[in-house]
Structure 1
Amino acid sequence: MKLHLLLVSLLLAIATTQAARKDRHVILISVDGLASYYFDDPKAHMPTIRSLAESGARAKRMKCSFPSVTWPNHTTLVTGVEPGTHGVIANNYFDRKTKKTVPFIPDPLFDKHEIVKVPTVYDVAHRAGLKTAGVIWPASRNAKHLDWQLPDVFDQKIFESASTPSLLKELRAKGIPIEKQMEWCKMGNAGKAQRDWMYTRIAEHIITTHKPNFLAIHLVTVDSFEHATGRNTPEAYWACNDSDNRVREIIEATKQAGIYENTAFVVAADHGFITYTNQIKPNVLLRQRGLLKSAGPRIVEQKAYAQVQGGAAMVYILDEANKQRIAKQLKNEFKKIPGMAAVIEPKDFDSVGQLTPEDDPRSPDLFLSAKDGYSFSGSAKGDDVVSAMSSPKGAHGYLTTHPLMYANFVVSGAGIKKGVVLDEVSNMDVAPTIAAVLGVKMKNTDGRVLREILAD
């Protein structure tokens, strides 16, 4: 009996390996912040991305995950499940024990296996014998199943220590200035275009030298300029064009490598963008209700605390003895704040893809989401819970049903039908669809394989 089971297991393993398309390549390009509304906007000059859509398939809208911020949504793109399931619940969270913010972004503390609780598409591909690579992909630090990688980390020492040693050696020999990572990250917008230029050079090298079956790359310029100026601004349009150029260069690299005809290109985004002119400061309200104390800019004592995520906020109640009473009080007060779109209780967390605090202590006691034109600030200073901005800014994080939060999704190339336009897909559909193109299968995803766009 044991021998029979062993033989069955071996045959299944062989079948899985044989199913993998070792002649097939998929390049997943995340253009951070590229909202779906840019696709039909003539001011957004994106000839490469539009050409991919014409020769392949696209969705008019791709629904992202809540909160609609970078780290959880990039993790959903490669796992096919909601943040509450994969474990990267937001860009950061508030630790109830230490009473400190714990950042996921930009991977300063955790390796991938410490925070991502489910298999990624690159895990599945690697186990099937395919070669994998990641360039600045969130929540992938020291991922065991990326053959070549540079993590999405700002700190230079961590960036280099968590990168593939042989790849670093190759990049240095080629004159790619990886030693500039931290310097350019610290420059803000002034360094974003340089960073995307460098990340593209790295991707080109990996493609032409190693020809991975799967490569994921994260481009950051669009997101940065939209944060600074809001959506649909001259700066945002410039960034859209710059990212389109990066996509074109990556495609050209596959031609140089001789794998273009066997490559599928997926150009996706993690979220859309909203312009705001007002800030909601939930910690000011908490301070006014005696639930938080501050000394100047510092918060020195908390019975409750709001961890902000742009257009969303996570409210933690630390007074266990009075939690239910405080939660009820805060729910009613938050609902009355101008610009508040939703106050979500734990009983409804499942509807936004999150776990309750009982199931995950990192989860808050309330989720908040702002309306169009508003964003959250973590500041506890001042007397005004809502204050006007001196100039417009851009944010995301909002409820994913907001039409401006829909993300871009275009796919073209090997294994993809031509001329398919879908009304709406979920970002949870991306990973299982990529897996299908590569001839492997992801189990237990919340998303589905988009069979209607597959040619084989």
Structure 2
Amino acid sequence: MRVAVCLFAILPLFVAAVNAADAPAGKDRCVVLISLDGLANFYLDDPKAEMPYLKSLIKSGTRSAGTVCTFPTVTWPNHTTMVTGVPAAEHGVLGNDYLDRKTAEKVQLLTDPVFDKDEVVTSPTIYDVAHAAGLKTAGIIWPATRNAKTLDFQVPDMAKDGWQKYGTPTWLEELRQAGIPVDKHGTYCTDSSGGGVLRDWLYTKLADHLFQNHPPNLLLVHLIEVDHIEHKYGPQSPEAYWAVKFIDDRLRDVVESSKKSPYADKTTFVIVSDHGFLPITREIRPNVLLKQAGLITGDGKGPANRQVYSVANGGGCLVYLLDPAKKAELMPKLIEKLGAIEGVDTVITPDRFAELGLASPEKDPRAPDFWLAAKSGYSFSDSIVGDDVVTLRETPGGTHGYLPNQAPLHGTLVLNGYGVKAGGQLPIVSNMDIAPTIAALLGVKMPTAKGKVLKDALH
């Protein structure tokens, strides 16, 4: 699959971005992009959500009424959209998981990616542009950044021993010498509780070290505990409200640590989330139906013969037809059959791909032939086990991945600090607007971005 993304095809995009980054760059300032994974916009108006620190930043900064996210509304595509300013069809990160058509096996990007950044991200990022302009860049578990050459300091979004293999070696050694337990990160990730509390604490310690020792002009920080808890217990559950308060405290830690940077007086915070959340009680298993139709053979315990296969991304699902000779015959039948499953809200056919910023298999072989989107209360599963296409979950939970035109799926956007208006209000915006807005704050240009600069938020 590495061959599918041709680096020679990508190179002109990066050259164009580098040549365009010729405005006076803000070497005397810093932008901190902080992703609070899974923090739906609705929490900012929920009286049960204790977020005193974020609300203080809203009061002295500018807030949007929400962000429309990339479909599927999952972590890796949306974090990549936020730093490229383009939809998934252009930046190349199509989902958290997809299918390799050659092997008919699922490729999991999360949490131990099989690709370096330049092998999967096919559009210039804000950190590429900033680095080309001579600015210092850093990333703390930002998705799709493994071996990113334009992050001067970074640890990738990986578990196990990913940091030791792919983190910045000299920085990791400094962190060890400072007593920061970076070598325990893999243990935190595999903890039975999910390790989110210790992980987010660790990520804030890394940010603090950077501000003091290697002050960046652009820092990307990804905090994960809200997402982890909402998957397990559901949005707006007692546990989710606890996680919201916890993440507000970690946000405070990062913002307060920035005061140790020489750029403290010229630091801007862009606080975002990658998606919202919906509650779930039932699971849809399209592959069970495909097995019953004879299009998948196997018992789910070993390799299966797959003529058609679906790959779940929460409330979104990619469907692949793997026999080109049968595609014309099978596709209309499958659209009808899969679309009729209980809990399926929409079948997204190729005529809607451009509207939703989705790649087509003719242009990107990793792309599916069509998508399914679930209704609230339902999530998809890859399982082929059993005879039930729709099953009741043992315990309720939460997920995302659904179509983005629903208020509960809207992400958060708050801007505060240098160059930002106080008490500002923005309408619902696209998360493609984040990268070009950061570019404007840093004094660099990003001509490849499809989003717009949020000028109404800026001085």
In structure 1, C-alpha distance between the alignment counterparts of 2:218 and 2:382, rounded to whole Å: 38
Q: How does 1:172-321 map to 2 (within 5 A)?
A: 172-298=176-302, 300-321=304-325
Q: TM-score, normalised by structure 1?
A: 0.95
Partner of 1:134: 139
Partner of 1:155: 160
CA gap of 1:258–1:428, structure 2 versus 1, over 3 A, is same
Partner of 1:117: 122
Query: Is this contact kept in 1: 2:35–2:221, CA < 8 A?
Result: yes
Q: Residue 420 of structure 1: CA displacement?
A: 1.1
Give 2:393's match in structure 1, choosing from 384, 389, 393: 389
Query: Is this contact kept in 2: 1:84–1:354, CA < 8 A?
Result: yes
Give 1:103's match in structure 2, choosing from 92, 101, 108: 108
In structure 2, C-alpha distance between the alignment counterparts of 1:311 and 1:13, rounded to whole Å: 37
Instruction: Point out the more displaced range, 348-357 or 67-76.
Output: 348-357
CA gap of 1:14–1:143, structure 2 versus 1, over 3 A, is closer
In structure 2, C-alpha distance between the alignment counterparts of 1:95 and 1:151, rounded to whole Å: 23
User: Kindly, what percent of the aligned residue pairs are identical?
Assistant: 48
Query: Is this contact kept in 1: 2:124–2:448, CA < 8 A?
Result: no
In structure 2, C-alpha distance between the alignment counterparts of 1:14 and 1:90, rounded to whole Å: 30
Which SS does the other structure have where 1:189 is aligned?
Answer: coil
Which SS does the other structure have where 2:189 is aligned?
Answer: helix
1:356 and 2:355 correspond = no
In structure 1, C-alpha distance between the alignment counterparts of 2:98 and 2:391, rounded to whole Å: 24
1:33 and 2:38 correspond = yes
Instruction: Point out the more displaced range, 396-405 or 186-195.
Output: 186-195
Instruction: Point out the more displaced range, 432-441 or 45-54.
Output: 45-54
CA gap of 1:425–1:170, structure 2 versus 1, over 3 A, is same
In structure 2, C-alpha distance between the alignment counterparts of 1:119 and 1:286, rounded to whole Å: 38
Q: Residue 78 of structure 1: CA displacement?
A: 0.4
Query: Is this contact kept in 2: 1:297–1:379, CA < 8 A?
Result: no
Query: Is this contact kept in 1: 2:160–2:190, CA < 8 A?
Result: no
5+ long unaligned stretches in structure 1 = 1-11
Partner of 1:3: none
Paired residue type of 2:330: I
CA gap of 1:359–1:188, structure 2 versus 1, over 3 A, is farther
In structure 1, C-alpha distance between the alignment counterparts of 2:449 and 2:21, rounded to whole Å: 18
Partner of 2:13: none
Residue-by-residue CA offset, 1:57-100 (whole Å, 9 max, x unaligned): 01111110000110110000100000110001111110111111
Q: Residue 107 of structure 1: CA displacement?
A: 4.1
Paired residue type of 1:303: Q
In structure 2, C-alpha distance between the alignment counterparts of 1:42 and 1:260, rounded to whole Å: 32
Partner of 2:445: 441
After TM superposition, the runs of 4+ consecutive aligned structure 1 residues lying more than 4 A away are 12-18
1:409 and 2:413 correspond = yes
1:93 and 2:69 correspond = no
Partner of 2:3: none
1:372 and 2:371 correspond = no
Instruction: Point out the more displaced range, 145-154 or 385-394.
Output: 385-394
Q: How does 1:60-79 map to 2 (within 5 A)?
A: 60-79=65-84
Q: Residue 15 of structure 1: CA displacement?
A: 9.8
Paired residue type of 1:97: K
Paired residue type of 1:321: A
CA gap of 1:14–1:275, structure 2 versus 1, over 3 A, is closer
Residue-by-residue CA offset, 1:282-305 (whole Å, 9 max, x unaligned): 001101111011224445111100
5+ long unaligned stretches in structure 2 = 1-16
In structure 2, C-alpha distance between the alignment counterparts of 1:394 and 1:189, rounded to whole Å: 16
Partner of 1:48: 53
CA gap of 1:282–1:18, structure 2 versus 1, over 3 A, is closer
Query: Is this contact kept in 1: 2:316–2:402, CA < 8 A?
Result: yes
Give 2:429's match in structure 1, choosing from 425, 429, 434: 425
Residue-by-residue CA offset, 1:109-159 (whole Å, 9 max, x unaligned): 111011111110011011111110001110001111111111111131x32
In structure 2, C-alpha distance between the alignment counterparts of 1:40 and 1:168, rounded to whole Å: 39
Instruction: Point out the more displaced range, 161-170 or 13-22.
Output: 13-22
Paired residue type of 2:123: V
In structure 1, C-alpha distance between the alignment counterparts of 2:58 and 2:234, rounded to whole Å: 26
Q: Residue 19 of structure 1: CA displacement?
A: 1.2
Query: Is this contact kept in 1: 2:286–2:382, CA < 8 A?
Result: yes
Which SS does the other structure have where 1:350 is aligned?
Answer: coil
Q: Residue 337 of structure 1: CA displacement?
A: 1.3
Count, aligned residues: 443
Query: Is this contact kept in 2: 1:113–1:143, CA < 8 A?
Result: yes
Query: Is this contact kept in 2: 1:33–1:272, CA < 8 A?
Result: yes
1:82 and 2:103 correspond = no
In structure 1, C-alpha distance between the alignment counterparts of 2:457 and 2:194, rounded to whole Å: 39
Paired residue type of 2:441: V
Which SS does the other structure have where 1:279 is aligned?
Answer: strand
In structure 1, C-alpha distance between the alignment counterparts of 2:139 and 2:210, rounded to whole Å: 10
Query: Is this contact kept in 2: 1:276–1:374, CA < 8 A?
Result: yes
Instruction: Point out the more displaced range, 370-379 or 293-302.
Output: 293-302
